[in-house]
A and B are shown apart, each in its own frame.
Chain A
Amino acid sequence: MTPQEQAKKIEEIYNDAIAKLDVLAQERSNLVKERQDAIRGYIKDLETKKVDTIRASLGLSANQ
């Protein structure tokens, strides 16, 4: 194998890996977003519950 052929072959291997990594990186990025959304959702739920508790303690209904 000439150095050029070797370089070409290694380049193909890297290109193949890069293509796979691109897909996996995108999937991972989506999961990271999903995780952040889950945390925000959890905090939002806590916030709602806390507001409801305060309202209840003040004798206010949810609509007031």
Chain B
Amino acid sequence: MNAEKEILKQDLSKQEKPEDIKKFIEDTELMGGHEDIVALAKAKYETAIEQINTPIETTESQKTQVENMGGSESDLQEVTAPIDEKIAEKDTEIKNVEKETEQKVSEVKNENKENNSEFKYDSEEGRKLKYSLAGMSEAELLKIMDKYPHSVSTNNENTRSLWADIIRENKLSPEELIEIDKKVNDKEGYNDEVIVGRILETGKLPLDKALEIVSRGGGPRPMETFVEKTNFSNMNDAELKKVFKTLDKVGNWHFNEIVKKSGRTKEQVQVLLK
């Protein structure tokens, strides 16, 4: 590969005209795998374009000639002014094309970046994030991924199943669970019932975070899981009050069950909530 690159570099150094360099870029891109060479060729092409736009100036020798013939620089400027104006307009047009091009290229790059921000199995970044979140080795993670061979994004069933499986392994810390919730649910603007269910099932989340997830809604499962997996009997009055107040906002149809699990009487809870 290095030898090929060396040859390409040598070939490139022979290209002088913009059209030749452009052709070289096209040919090299078709070959693939030579990004640095392509970048070099593009840079050279841009330089060639810049050279076309060399600054316009009246040479010193022309100025001397004018002075020797009894003319003046200001008279010379009057002669060139209308053309200078036209050249300035042309330069503006050129700059506009360059700006427009940069913007378009940037849009395409950003578009791709956004698409790729959803985790892909074949993305190194996505893979690292996944197994660092899951605390698994890559081999372990790939084993899970083998069950879901399709490319994934955060809004399809395969991803949800993948995350759910990773969470079910129960190797994640509360921070990692919160991170997954943030990546998968908040990002998409909804509460994914399956993943939220799995996260809450671990019973590892701090109370505030668990309540925040439940209060986002997303069907009956989050609240059911929360009620099922939470140890209310260990809670002090302030924590229990927080639970009831938060759940009331989203419709707490587990009131009696929570009271029972808390080891308090209804009367005690009613006093607590006053």
- Using CB atoms and an 8 Å cutoff, list the residues of chain A in contact with chain B: 1, 3, 6-7, 9-11, 13-14, 16-18, 20-22, 24-25, 27-29, 31-32, 34-35, 38-39, 41-43, 46-47, 49-50
Give the residues from 38 to 78 in chain B that come closer than 8 angstroms, CB to CB, to chain A: 49, 52-53, 56, 58, 62, 65-66, 69-71, 75-76
With A6-B112, A46-B69 given, can you name 11 additional A-B contacts, CB distance below 8 Å? A10-B105, A17-B100, A20-B97, A21-B49, A24-B90, A29-B52, A31-B83, A32-B87, A35-B80, A38-B79, A49-B70
- Using CB atoms and an 8 Å cutoff, list the residues of chain B in contact with chain A: 18, 22, 26, 29, 49, 52-53, 56, 58, 62, 65-66, 69-71, 75-76, 79-80, 83-84, 86-87, 90-91, 93-94, 97-98, 100-101, 104-105, 108-109, 111-112, 115
Residues of B within 8 A of A18 (CB): 18, 22
B94 touching A50, Cβ below 8 Å = no
A21 touching B29, Cβ below 8 Å = no
- Interface residue from A11, A13, A16, A28 paired with B87 (Cβ < 8 Å): A28
Within the complex, the shortest CB–CB distance from A42 to chain B, in Å, comes to 5
B84 touching A35, Cβ below 8 Å = yes
**Secondary structure dominating the interface of A:** helix
B62 touching A38, Cβ below 8 Å = no
Among all A-B residue pairs, the 3 with the closest Cβ atoms? A46-B69, A17-B101, A25-B52
